[in-house]
Structure 1
């Protein structure tokens, strides 16, 4: 896959879930329910108009993916996270510099990962109880998001320390007792799906490269419930029309 095949043009100021960047989210309130919920995002502010008018929006229902010789994803994660926060929309784990994703000659740095319950993306109509989004940015601010599904099953060891003291509105920023390595929450054994999409939160900026792992991981019912309670609500945007996009696998 050559660089020209990755249509990403996202300015750093538009990255809504990275706390080190400014965005319209800082001053404009939105939610996952009621009159500030997803169906109204595009009307809440001119800055959010793409949520309503965009043609390459995320999440999607991954159906009829086309077989393709996708390049290998090289995860060079060497720095563990020690900080987690609850930003009112999700539980988010921030990472220091030094963790990179390489796709052929393109290098993206891991900034953070966060959770959605239930999953935002679907697979052939199937929803999962939990999904994690690993947000990467290159030097120009272009984004690549790696998505990992979780189904209910055995407890996830990597989540155990995070959930011992999960951040909430009374303690929004915590120090993780044992440093968390991002690679322990990714299953890269069976390939991935790729498509062009958007941020799944306002301002819904397009031009984000999505890489969805095919193989789910497990988390216990208790772990999924604990994350859901910390976020106080389902925090998933409904799936969006695929339009003319192609999903590769």
Structure 2
């Protein structure tokens, strides 16, 4: 058997096992009141102490599959069917909330979803971190948006979009007035918004198993981070930070150890042959 064949098969089996393991994970939601923690390094409520604030937040300190991480992959891979994302996004009613450290846009009707490996994940909300929480090849960018999806049995899949400084982001531009209007822990109706307005679905994306990036830091999250960068203006990033008025210049968790996790860079442009499409059977594992 050729070495290249063995390597492709082993990677496929690993990816399949990874998704099976995620399927048994029950993931809690991020906290809605963010006043009990902050992003100030060295503070008793800062990132290195999140796990000490509450017993149910202990995973923030003890977890071995924490997010965010530095994303690095040596070469792109073909995309097996069972790790592809099918987006089923529709316009839906939203509310916008100031949670204390970030701005959250929530879809209240459950009209949008994605599908991974036959599992439907309903789009619940998106929010923003500055600078970007994930790094690509060691570099963090101006902003990162997280689109958080949840299955019926409470598993979580997050799609991350990274931005560098440049032209204003049209999606943020459409809700700037709403962001300016809300104070800490307040919320307001934001009307009907389509998540498809974020036009950043590129040909390459990173995939790995991680965690929520805020307390309780629960693990078992399927992370997809788009390799295509968007642009955001300095004024828009400042708007997001000034709106929460939390006394911090940023709301990005420090990078976490990879701890020997596999990070895949998938490229949808690569040819998918019969071998890649094959899902390994129990006998082959």
CA separation of 1:51 and 1:197: change in aligned 2, threshold 3 A: same
SS at match of 2:36: coil
Q: State yes or no: 1:236 paired with 2:266.
A: no
Q: Unpaired segments of 5 or more residues in structure 1?
A: 20-24
Equivalence for 2:189: 175
Q: State yes or no: 1:145 paired with 2:161.
A: no
Q: C-alpha separation between the residues in 1 aligned to 2:120 and 2:65?
A: 23
Q: C-alpha separation between the residues in 2 aligned to 1:145 and 1:77?
A: 14
Q: Give runs of aligned pairs for residues 73-84 of structure 1, distance below 5 A.
A: 73-84=85-96
Deviation by residue 1:127-177 (Cα, 9 ceiling, x = unmatched): 11110001001111111000000111111222112111315426821222x
What TM-score, normalized by structure 1, do the two folds share? 0.88
CA separation of 1:243 and 1:3: change in aligned 2, threshold 3 A: closer
Q: C-alpha separation between the residues in 2 aligned to 1:152 and 1:61?
A: 20
Q: Give runs of aligned pairs for residues 34-53 of structure 1, distance below 5 A.
A: 34-53=43-62
Tell me whether 113-122 or 226-235 shows the greater mean CA deviation.
226-235
Report the CA distance between 1:204 and its aligned residue. Answer: 0.7
Q: Give runs of aligned pairs for residues 37-186 of structure 1, distance below 5 A.
A: 37-65=46-74, 67-70=76-79, 71-95=83-107, 96-166=109-179, 167-169=181-183, 172-176=186-190, 179-186=192-199
Deviation by residue 1:56-99 (Cα, 9 ceiling, x = unmatched): 00000112355332243211101334311111121000012120
CA separation of 1:165 and 1:121: change in aligned 2, threshold 3 A: same
Equivalence for 1:22: none
Equivalence for 1:217: 230
Q: Unpaired segments of 5 or more residues in structure 2?
A: 1-11, 266-285
SS at match of 2:121: strand
Q: C-alpha separation between the residues in 1 aligned to 2:185 and 2:84?
A: 39
Deviation by residue 1:202-221 (Cα, 9 ceiling, x = unmatched): 11111101000010111111
Report the CA distance between 1:103 and its aligned residue. Answer: 2.0
Q: C-alpha separation between the residues in 2 aligned to 1:127 and 1:89?
A: 19
Higher helix content, 1 or 2: 2
Deviation by residue 1:86-127 (Cα, 9 ceiling, x = unmatched): 111210000121201112422111000011011111111111
CA separation of 1:142 and 1:66: change in aligned 2, threshold 3 A: farther
Report the CA distance between 1:222 and its aligned residue. Answer: 1.1
Question: Across the two proteins, how many residue pairs are aligned to each other?
Answer: 240
Q: C-alpha separation between the residues in 2 aligned to 1:120 and 1:192?
A: 16
Q: C-alpha separation between the residues in 2 aligned to 1:165 and 1:140?
A: 32
CA separation of 1:218 and 1:58: change in aligned 2, threshold 3 A: same
Equivalence for 2:200: 187
Q: Highest Rg: 1 or 2?
A: 2
Q: State yes or no: 1:202 paired with 2:215.
A: yes
